[in-house]
Amino acid sequence: MLDLRSRGDLQGLAARLAPDFVYRARGAWPMWPYYGGPMSRSQFTGAVARVNAEFDLVEWDSHEFLVEGESVAAHVTVSARNRGAGAPVEFDIWFYFRFREELLAEAAMYVDAARAARLLPGGLVEVHPHAGARARSPAVAEPPSQRGAVRTDAAASGETENGAPASVREWMAMERAARGFFALRAKGDSAAMLGRLAPDFVYNPLGTWTKAPLMADRCDRATFAESLRLVNVEFEDLGGEVHEMVVDGDRIAVHRTIRVRNRGAGEIAQVDEWVCFRVRTGLIVEMASYVDSVRAAQVDKPPYAPAR
C-alpha cells in the first residue's frame, strides 16, 4: 500500500481497497492534509489525487511496522517534493490499516502536522481539527481471538486470563503493561513509572517527529524519568481514551487521546499521541512517544522552545 501511494499509482491503490472501504481517523488529531473522515472509497481516492497534484512522494523510510492479524500500525518518514516550488521536504506519519481478505477495509493517517504545515506551503497545509464523530469504540483493542466480540468486565479486568490460550494471555500482558504505564502517568507517580522500566531501558524516538514540550531526546532510564517528572510539573494528565492498539511479539503501538491541563495557565486541551513500547518479562525496555505537536503547542503556555 505504501509503495503504491509513493508511486502515485491511483489505479493500483483503488484496486487494493475493499468495496466498503472507509477512511476514518479517530481522536482529536489535526488531520493534514485529509479531514478526519469518514471518507468512502471514492472520496479517499479523490483526496489522494489532490495530494498527488501538489507534490511527489519521493520515498519513505519505515521505522516501526507492527502487524496483528488484520491490523497494521506503521511509523514512516516521508520524503516529498513540492511540484510547484520543487523544495524537498521530510515529515513523519503514523498509519493505521485494517485488512480483510487481502483488501484494505479501513485506514487512517496521523501526520506530524506542525512539521508538515511548516515545510509544505500552499493550499494543502491548512490544519483541520477533527470534527467527525467517532463511529464506534476502539475495536482493535481486543485480543486476537475476541476481535469483534463484546468484552465483559471480567475479561477486561483479567479475571479470565488463566483460562485463555497462550496467545491471548500474552496479548493481555502487553496491554496491561501499556495501560498500567498510562495510568501511572495520569497519577504523576514518577517513582512507580520508574519501577516499570527495565534497568537497560532506552527512550528511543525515531524519524523527524517534532519533539513535544519538555520531552527528552534519545536517553537512558534516569534521564527519561526526570523528563516525565518535569512534564508532570507543567501539565496535569486528566485521563485518556485508547483508539488503536496493535501488538506484535514484544512490541505494542497505541494511539490514544489524553486530556491535558496546563497547571499554570489552566488551559485544557485534547492531545493525541502514538506510543510504541517494547516489553520484556513485564518491564518496558524501549519506548517512544509521538505527540500531536499542534495540540501540544496550544496547551503549552508560555510556549516551550525546543532546541533546534
**Residue after which a domain boundary falls, among 125, 158, 184:** 125
Same domain, 212 and 111: no
CA distances from residue 12 to 3, 15, 106 in whole angstroms, order as listed: 10, 5, 17
Mean of the pLDDT values across residues 68-88?
86
Which residue range forms the structural domain that includes residue 81?
Answer: 2-125
Q: Say if residue 73's pLDDT is above 90.
A: yes
Q: With a cut of 60, say whether residue 130 has pLDDT above it.
A: no
Q: What integer is the mean pLDDT of 62-76?
A: 95
Same domain, 121 and 31: yes
Rg of the chain taking only CA atoms, in angstroms:
19
pLDDT of residue 121: 55
The band of 146, judged by pLDDT with boundaries at 50, 70 and 90, is very low
Would residue 307 count as lying in a domain? Answer: no
Average pLDDT over residues 87-110: 91
Claim to verify: residue 257 and residue 161 sit in the same structural domain: yes
Output the pTM of the full model.
Answer: 0.81
Query: Both 6 and 43 in a single domain?
Result: yes
139 located within any domain: no
In angstroms, the CA 295 to CA 257 distance is 11
| Domain shared by 111 and 148, yes or no | no
Question: Which CATH number belongs to the domain containing residue 205 in this structure?
Answer: 3.10.450.50
Verify that 63 and 12 share a domain, yes or no.
yes
Last residue of a domain, one of 125, 152, 177: 125
* Domain match, 172 and 279 both: yes
Tell whether the model's pLDDT for residue 69 goes beyond 90. yes
Highest mean pLDDT pick, 7-11, 62-66, 188-192, 227-231: 62-66
Q: What is the pLDDT of residue 161?
A: 55
Sign, CA torsion 105/110/111/117: positive
pLDDT of residue 20: 96
Whether residue 152 sits in one domain with residue 96? no
Domain count, the chain: 2
What is the reported pLDDT for 94?
95
Place of cell 484494505: 104
Least confident span in 3-17, 63-77, 151-165 = 151-165
Q: Is residue 176 located within the same domain as residue 106?
A: no
Q: What is the DSSP letter of 144?
A: G
160-164, 178-182, 190-194, 293-297: the lowest-pLDDT one: 160-164
Reply yes or no on whether the pLDDT at 152 is more than 60.
no
Which of 95, 125, 155 is the C-terminal boundary of a domain? 125
